[in-house]
């Protein structure tokens, strides 16, 4: 009527043989997917800032009246 004792000998090795390949595969999958997703985004930012002129954008916003502390040149 008593419960059977749990098998404790070799339990860690048994669990590691099962979970270690799964963890390794999932980590590789996560790294590859992160690389695939971020590389085009980094390239898009690099392409945008290659031709970006901050002073031109500032002048356009100043003329549009976006800033309260800087008056447009016509005023």
Over residues 12-38, mean pLDDT? 96
Per the structure, the count of domains in the chain is 1
What is the overall mean pLDDT for the chain? 92
Would you say 63 and 72 are in contact if contact means Cβ atoms under 8 Å apart? yes
Q: What is the pLDDT of residue 45?
A: 96
Does 60 reside within a domain?
yes
User: What is the reported pTM?
Assistant: 0.57
Q: What is the pLDDT of residue 7?
A: 85
Does 18 reside within a domain?
no
Does 17 reside within a domain?
no
Sign of CA dihedral 25, 28, 30, 33: negative
Residue-range definition of the domain harbouring residue 49: 36-74
Does 49 reside within a domain?
yes
Output 25 or 63, whichever has higher pLDDT.
25
Does 41 reside within a domain?
yes
């Amino acid at each position: 009527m008593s419960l059977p004792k749990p098998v404790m000998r070799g339990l860690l090795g048994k669990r590691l043989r099962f979970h270690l390949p799964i963890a390794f595969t999932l980590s590789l999958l996560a790294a590859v997917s992160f690389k695939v997703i971020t590389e085009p985004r980094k390239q898009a930012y690099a392409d945008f800032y290659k031709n970006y002129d901050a002073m031109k954008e500032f002048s356009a916003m100043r003329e549009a009246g976006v800033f309260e502390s800087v008056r447009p040149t016509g005023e």
